[in-house]
Chain A
Amino acid sequence: MSAPISSGFHFGRWMLFLSTALLAILTASPLVWMISAAFKQPAEIFNSSLIPQHPTLENFRYVFTQLPFVRYVLNTFFIAGTITVVALLFHSMAGFAFARLKFPGRDLIFLSIFSTFLVSLPVIIVPLFILVQRLGMVNNYAGLIIPAIFNAFGIFLLRQFYLGIPGELQEAAIIDGASYWGIYWNIMLPLSRPILSALAVFFFLVNWNAFLWPLTITTNQDLWVVQVAIASFQNQYSASWNYIMAASAVVTVPTLLLFFFFQRELVESIKTTGLK
């Protein structure tokens, strides 16, 4: 849809440019406000100005020294990182098998995996919690990590990718006497580095931001992840919004950095979930 060619061309395009820019800046402004509030003093927090008049690092100092916030950050790094690595391994194995190997019941199994696509956590959280409790995984890292590994989305995406790789590579490797594992490990995995890095960013983000499951499965504060921690600061320090905004900024900055550096990969993996 390109701009219409007419005498109003320049004016129309300028209006379009200005309104798009204005709308985009408006969309981003709450996040700018949050980062700015993290540097404000308590008296200033409700000031509508986007730039703190007397910027202070006191809020950050408080969050890192008076609260075990470093621990929460490390917990979240460990949990989200482990989930990401294990999920990529499992999903690429499954995706490879569904795309490149023939075995009885393949399509049926894939279809049943695909049908879990629309099952969301809030719907199954009660039985899932009871089950995980029975497995002895309440209040430990296993309960935070293992159930979060499995999702149909990653398998689906990787299968799509492996379907697009020319079959000759695999046939040549089989003639050379390579095993299935050898083909997967030496040929398919290196080829799929771009999509794996895209998925890695995506999985890490999703798990860094995860809230409902960690909230449900942990009561022990030593196991808290950042999202559960800041949500509960709200109850403990209800009036101290400057501390809460500082903690929020600390939690958000890594996701924004990931977003800016890997934007293309993120957008590509989202697009692929659409149609193709």
Chain B
Amino acid sequence: MAAFLFILPDSLGLLIFVGIPMALALSLGFFSVDGFGGYKFVWFANYNRMLHDPLFLKSLWVTVVYVLVLVPGLYVTGLGLALLVSQKIPFIAVWRSLFFMPYVVSLVVVGLTWKVMLIDKVGFVNSVLELLHLPSRSWLGDPNLALGAILLVTIWFLMGYYMIIFLSGLQEIPREYYEVARIDGAGPWAMFMKITLPLLRPTSFFVLLVSTVSAVAGGQAFDLIYVMTKGGPANSTSLAVFYIYEQAFQFNNYGYAAAMASFLVIILLLITIALFALTRGGRFHLG
């Protein structure tokens, strides 16, 4: 019985602040909530509205593009950096720290700093481009460029985290495999394709799962947009999580926001199930 007392505070807390909100997230979408906390059951009205809301459909499209660039982008930069910093190079610990450093800075500061650096004409990035005789651009003001700029900042922020994850995966590959392969005359590329990638499968699975979930609904998807573009210009950076937040807390459409959020939850569940099925569990086991 004493055991239950040990798990009581956390179990209760998780139930109240994660479990119940999760259950509510899936059901609140069937209600319309007015400003005075009155609830009215409205069947599928919110869902119907959602499917006919061009701004929501636009935000879904923006999210799809964001996920399709971010997930491979983080995989390649994370693995690339991990391979780079697992070489024997002088001061390697210093370079490793510098790659990881952006990840400890808050997203608000990251967003503000990049916003100033990306300012039209006079910003740091445009000045450097001018020095190199390249055209200066309105990075956050051009609907064709803003999402790309946000994606670059996001990759810059997160790549150090995935570098660490890949590094721990690389360290678990026995060195003898490479030695044997070298004796057999295998080049670096063959070793990478035949040893590194296959043995990294569990790590890759974890990285794909976590980066996909965080691309769809992670904190960075909201914080950076809030600070840098507020979804603009012309809704070109309005990610679904940002649009949902706007609907809930600017326009007080709680029921509608919950309906859209539950749609995201279902998509996330489907992605998770698909990833587990495709990789046969990814050999990702608890404990």
Contacts and interface: CB of A to CB of B under 8 A. Distances in A.
Interface stretch (B53-61, B65-73, B140-148, B214-222): B214-222
Contact of A216 (B19, B87, B249): B249
Contacts of B226: 211, 215, 231
Contact of B25 (A20, A102, A123, A151): A123
Contact of B106 (A16, A48, A180, A255): A255
Interface in B225-253: 226-227, 241, 244-245, 248-249
Contact of B18 (A116, A159, A251): A116
Contacts of B45: none
B162 to A, nearest CB: 10
A180 to B, nearest CB: 5
Give the one of A3, A97, A127 with max B CB within 10 A.
A127
Contacts of B217: 120, 122-123
A70 interface: no
Contacts of B172: 275
B25 to A, nearest CB: 5
Contacts of B202: 275
A155 interface: yes
Interface stretch (A27-35, A59-67, A192-200): A27-35
Contact of A116 (B19, B102, B122, B209): B19
A176 to B, nearest CB: 17
Contacts of B197: none
A187 B215 CA distance: 41
A79 interface: no
A16 B104 CA distance: 26
Contact of B257 (A118, A126, A258): A126
Interface in B18-63: 18-22, 24-25, 28, 33
Give the one of A48, A102, A129, A147 with max B CB within 10 A.
A48
Contacts, number: 281
Contacts of A248: 108-109, 112-113
B261 interface: yes
Contacts of B104: 205, 255-256, 258-259, 266
A274 B168 contact: yes
B89 A150 contact: no
B7 A94 contact: yes
Given A122-B217, A123-B265, A256-B104, A234 B244 contact: no
Interface SS, B side: helix
Given A120-B213, A274-B165, A127 B21 contact: yes
Contacts of A57: none
Given A103-B3, A159-B287, A230 B109 contact: yes
Contact of A230 (B83, B101, B112): B112
9 closest A-B pairs by beta carbon, nearest first, are A127-B24, A97-B6, A209-B106, A150-B13, A48-B127, A24-B98, A46-B122, A103-B3, A124-B21
Interface of A: 1-4, 13, 16-17, 20-21, 23-25, 27-28, 30-31, 33-34, 37, 45-48, 90-91, 93-94, 96-98, 101-103, 106, 109, 111-114, 116, 118-132, 146-147, 149-152, 155, 159-160, 163, 179-181, 184, 205, 208-209, 211-212, 215-216, 227, 230-231, 234, 241, 244-245, 248, 251-252, 255-256, 258-260, 263, 266-267, 270-271, 273-275
11 contacts: A31-B102, A90-B13, A91-B10, A122-B218, A181-B2, A211-B223, A212-B219, A252-B105, A274-B164, A275-B202, A275-B284
